[in-house]
Structure 1
Amino acid sequence: MNNQGEIIAPGTLRFKRLLPGSIEKVWSYLTDSEKRGKWLAKGSMELYVGGKVELHFFHADLSPHKETPPAKYKCYETGDSISGEVIACFPPRLLSFTWGDHSEVTFELSEQENNLILLILTHRKIEDKIDTRISIASGWHTHLGILDAHLNDRIPDGFWEVHNKMEKEYGTLFSK
């Protein structure tokens, strides 16, 4: 399976990952603040339609590799927060919520052979600017890599190191 995100429609990115473990374990990494904080962002999440979502990002805490963010992301050095609202929740298979700027993120989980879980992440209603698509794709790619590392009991690479690399790759990919 290709780990690259792809544009599947205008303003829509999709990622697929095969992750180890039970569906309940992967679901907990999406919904439990402490576990989600290891790969994405801590914060409260009310798991019902209309429930509030608070995400507090601290990229420096996602890996033991200490880094300084690139100049254009310096504003995130001390963290960032967004809020949203749950728009669909069917534990442990589907979670969808608005994402700060009124875009939408959906996580779909399905059991596969060999104790693997297919995670499909779809981010919709993204601003139709190439820099925005590149930044969002690079961010999700990096966050999902960190999730994969945790589920495989590996130490994740530094967030900004991977993000910078992925910005170059997605810049090339999305410019075609």
Structure 2
Amino acid sequence: MSLTLSLDFQYKTTIEKLWSALTDSSMLAKWVHNIHTGQAMENDFKPVVGHHFQFSTQPTEWWNGIIEGEVLIVDAPNKLSYTWESGEKHLITWTLQDLEDGMVNLHLEQTGISNEQALAGAKYGWGKWCGELEKVLEQ
């Protein structure tokens, strides 16, 4: 059985700035961090189809500190999709929609989740990260 996480976030920003925050490795490092330690995660992400990337941080007793992925879809500034592997291999798809009044909707879909505990963990993690993303967008 495979579960899917589906979340929406609204940000007061431009679609171009939000796209950069999702695709620029230095901006990603400002909001994607180790949830347990708060430490930034180094990454070599590039929005290029076929690019293999890695996010890394200090390992913990529960996790080796590495997330690996491959970029699958780059449709700037509307859609970004990649694999996300850390124990399990998931598919992450971001869809950006320009709303009116300077707001942008960011839709996250994460598929391939194996159980309810992993689903709850993913929901918690992305919720925290997308809160940090909001701070980055305000800078």
**TM-score under structure 1 length normalisation:** 0.66
Contact 1:84/1:98 (<8 A) preserved: yes
> Which structure is higher in RCO with an 8 Å CA cutoff and minimum separation 6?
2
Residue identity in the other structure for 2:112 = K
The aligned residue for residue 82 of structure 1 is 67
The aligned residue for residue 127 of structure 2 is 141
The aligned residue for residue 56 of structure 1 is 56
Once the two structures are TM-superposed, the CA of residue 146 in structure 1 deviates from its matched residue by: 1.1
1:13 and 2:5 are equivalent in the alignment: yes
2:95 counterpart (88, 104, 108): 108
Q: Which digits, 9 at most, give the CA deviation of each residue in 1:34-67, with x for residues without a partner?
A: 1111111441123232121222247xxxxxxxxx
Gapped runs of 5+ residues in structure 1? 1-8, 59-72, 154-176
Q: Which digits, 9 at most, give the CA deviation of each residue in 1:102-129, with x for residues without a partner?
A: 21101111111111111001101111x2
- What CA RMSD, in Å, does the superposition of the two structures yield over aligned residues? 2.3
Q: Which runs of 4+ in 1 moved over 4 A?
A: none
The aligned residue for residue 170 of structure 1 is none
Cα distance in structure 2, aligned partners of 1:75 and 1:147: 27
Pairs aligned (count)? 129
Cα distance in structure 2, aligned partners of 1:46 and 1:34: 10
Residue identity in the other structure for 1:25 = K
The aligned residue for residue 166 of structure 1 is none
Residue identity in the other structure for 1:140 = W
Q: Single out whichever of 41-50 and 109-118 deviates more from structure 2.
A: 41-50
CA pair 76-25 structure 1, distance change in 2 beyond 3 A: farther
Cα distance in structure 1, aligned partners of 2:112 and 2:31: 23
1:38 and 2:34 are equivalent in the alignment: no
Q: Which digits, 9 at most, give the CA deviation of each residue in 1:114-166, with x for residues without a partner?
A: 11111001101111x2211111111111111111122234xxxxxxxxxxxxx
Contact 1:53/1:97 (<8 A) preserved: no
Bigger-Rg structure (1/2) = 1
Once the two structures are TM-superposed, the CA of residue 10 in structure 1 deviates from its matched residue by: 4.8
The aligned residue for residue 152 of structure 1 is 138
Kindly indicate which of the two structures has a greater share of residues assigned to strand.
Answer: 2
Contact 2:67/2:84 (<8 A) preserved: yes
Cα distance in structure 2, aligned partners of 1:12 and 1:115: 29
